Structure 1
């Protein structure tokens, strides 16, 4: 059966409502992506209002990540306590206010402050979107629906690039970068309106003994009234242990999942993706493209990012999470090698811009089918229900922390080592990522969340076999 037939059959077998929930929950990714992408173009014009050194450019860019770490550190626990839906509404409100605050900032200090505020919403969005999707999606299409979050991130980045282009010149007498940053209020409003009509996660409702509400939601999602078996399975897993906290992440049976989540969180960032997303216009500008041409070039990067994420959606429940990660990190390693080569070989000054752009596009393409979507999907799958939000929060904190360090140090690193060596260093990290994934990351395709949790417990009982055979959580 081909991919198109699989998707058509899935649509017939599952309620349309499950797709509606996933699409709206994935709008969290739109906020996430827009904020990542919009600063790349805005930096070219912020410097005309506030004189920025390379270090200050890094501060402006990475300040949102400080807020994201705060949002991720608190968001998981808040999601476990108050629910996925209410936290999404709160995050959208904070993002809306932060967008206006940045646009009206009178000084660089206020701009940094409001970027931190908006970053808290980005950190929350990175957690609650995948949580809500994974806890409502049927296991056979959970991968594809989970990738909708990453698809929305890429669409958010592309939208930001288009907005950057639209507001590149001065508009209505106000410097264009202010309009770029203000526009974030639009996707925040869309998310808030959509979330208002969403139900709460049925698994969260079961965890809080709101069984009738959970049954009502599941009946709509599964397009059947016979949901008692699923509720019983969730309750059985939920009742095995008491309510968990941070200390439970260090339990022997949870520790392998913690290592995988934190490892992938760091790998996703040190592989260098956000150096391309944040600084693509700056890099192209530095090698000879003017401001408008640099922004147009990054629109092409954004289009490729969206298209290849769609390809990943079609593949994830067919070929699995692990093969996509391995192919993607191998390709990213090669592309970064070529990208660095374009900067160090003599005699290429006339074409270095095109070599750089082509390598960047290839690199983003491999990222879009692997580390980009698979990381967020896996951390929503591999943790136990009672600590899932908290565990995702921990992984997200490491992700945003690594993102912060890379964003803050990349331009100074280029100034010290040069572009070629800097990109080769990132390529080395991608090679290490390939080794880690091959050795540690399991396959979760086609398994329910409760089966994955049961597998972790069984692995703790039978020993360390799961570390030696990574084909699946239980190594079926």
Structure 2
């Protein structure tokens, strides 16, 4: 649940809200307001690190489409096992997004932002070293859980750090990196297959994501904690320091951040807002919003994952490069290269 959906924090005395400071725009010498306030380096840094999570999602899912024929050869997979491998990361994303997204409310945006990417790196290493089919599936599910958990966290950390006038565009822009990741994953798969035509090449495809994941993990340690989350927790002094760091610019402005002082939270309201069951999404008052929010995502994911993941195999069949029963490894790899090149 985002801070916008919670009851406002009671305040006392003077001070402004975190969002007031984030949304503030400079004025010219004649007091004419500037239409677009500058985004600080920290705000851009947070945005790029959040977009990286979507990049990795696209890379992993589409790399699986390229790597699947090689995995099938190495582990002698049948049709059912291939389907499980293809769906494993998506199943993990479902679990992570649906069940673990709320951890950022409990433990903090920054903490979960780091943990998710660390888990992604650990399971990616496990995947590249997998000795068996079952370990491959477990590693892909783990990768999916980490990326799924990153869904709500990335959305929250962008929304709580960016001016409200451009919040929607920045969130959508970050999520658009999923498509870029799909292209990168397919391209990297092709290059690795071309340079290393071996059945084990699929391991290098997944390992290539670590080249980007390591600096992203390190970078997430250096972002600022969400000031809005700190305010909701009643940690006002920390929120003021975090807001100053978030909006640090040259020349320095604001020179001082003074936020509303939070009073003790109303436990009745906290319980009322925090215990809504899943069934509330399907109650009459929320049903239209649930449908309008979920159906477009379903259709988008159906095309992106349901069809996109198997684009290399589909293209291989269309262009006549698919071989139903490869006679040797070279024939299998050549078919995969042609399919990936077409994708």
Q: Fold conserved (TM > 0.5)?
A: yes
Measured against aligned partners, the alpha-carbon deviations of 1:69-124 in whole angstroms (never above 9, x if no partner) come to: 22113322211101121112111111111112112222222211111111111111
The alpha-carbon distance between structure 1 residues 146 and 239, as it changes in their structure 2 partners (threshold 3 A), is: farther
What does residue 10 of structure 2 align with?
none
Q: Is the 8 A contact 1:23 1:148 kept in 2?
A: no
Q: TM-score, normalised by structure 2?
A: 0.73
Which one has the largest radius of gyration?
A: 2
Does structure 2 retain, via aligned residues, the 8 Å contact 1:33–1:155? yes
Runs of 4+ with >6 A deviation: 237-240
- Find the counterpart in structure 1 of residue 269 from structure 2: 241
TM-score of the two chains, using structure 1 as the length reference: 0.54
Where do 5+ consecutive residues of structure 1 fail to align? 1-8, 299-476
- C-alpha distance in 2 between matches for 1:113 and 1:221: 38
After superposition, the Cα gap between the structure-2 partners of 1:136 and 1:248, relative to the gap in structure 1 and judged at 3 Å, is farther
Q: How many residues align?
A: 287
Q: Are residues 1:275 and 2:306 paired?
A: yes
* Distance in 2, Cα, partners of 1:15 & 1:54: 51
- Higher RCO, 1 or 2 (CA under 8 Å, sep at least 6)? 2
1:92 counterpart SS class? helix
- In the alignment, is the contact (CA less than 8 A) between 2:159 and 2:171 conserved in 1? yes
Q: Distance in 2 between matches of 1:228 and 1:135?
A: 18
Partner in structure 2 of residue 124 of structure 1: 149
Shift of 1:282: 0.7
Contact 1:95–1:185 under 8 Å retained in 2: no
2:339 maps to what in 1?
294
**For the Cα contact (< 8 Å) 2:101–2:152, is it kept in 1?**
yes
The aligned counterpart of 2:315 is 284
CA distance in 2, matches of 1:116, 1:122: 10
Change over 3 Å in CA distance of 1:172–1:255 after alignment to 2 = closer
Tell whether the 8 Å contact from 1:169 to 1:176 is kept in structure 2 after alignment: no
Pick from 233, 241, 245 the counterpart of residue 216 of structure 1.
Answer: 241
Asked if 2 retains the 8 angstrom alpha-carbon contact of 1:67 and 1:117, the reply is: yes
Change (3 A) 1:238 1:79: farther
Decide whether the 8 Å contact of 1:94 with 1:118 is kept in 2: yes
Tell me the CA shift for residue 177 of structure 1: 0.7
Q: Is the 8 A contact 2:224 2:245 kept in 1?
A: no
What's the C-alpha RMSD, in Å, of the aligned pairs? Answer: 3.1
CA distance in 2, matches of 1:10, 1:111: 51
Please list, as runs of the form range in 1=range in 2, the aligned pairs for 1:376-415 lying within 5 A after superposition: none
The aligned residue for residue 220 of structure 2 is 195
Q: Provide, for residues 419-448 of structure 1, a one-character-per-residue CA deviation record: whole Å limited to 9, x for no partner.
A: xxxxxxxxxxxxxxxxxxxxxxxxxxxxxx
Deviation at 1:214? 1.9
Q: 1:119 to 1:194 in 2, by over 3 A?
A: same
2:293 corresponding residue in structure 1: 261
Give the distance between the partners of 2:269 and 2:287, measured in 1 at CA: 16
1:122-155 CA-to-partner distances (Å, cap 9, x unmatched) read 1112221111101111111112221232233223
Aligned to 1:167, the other structure's residue is in SS state helix
Compared with structure 1, are the counterparts of its residues 184 and 53 closer, same or farther at alpha carbon in structure 2 (3 Å cutoff)? same
Secondary structure at the aligned position of 1:105 is classed as coil
Q: Distance in 2 between matches of 1:196 and 1:241?
A: 33
User: Which is helix-richer, 1 or 2?
Assistant: 1
Q: Structure 2 CA distance, aligned partners of 1:125 and 1:164?
A: 24
Which structure 2 segments of 5+ residues have no match?
1-33, 248-252, 322-334
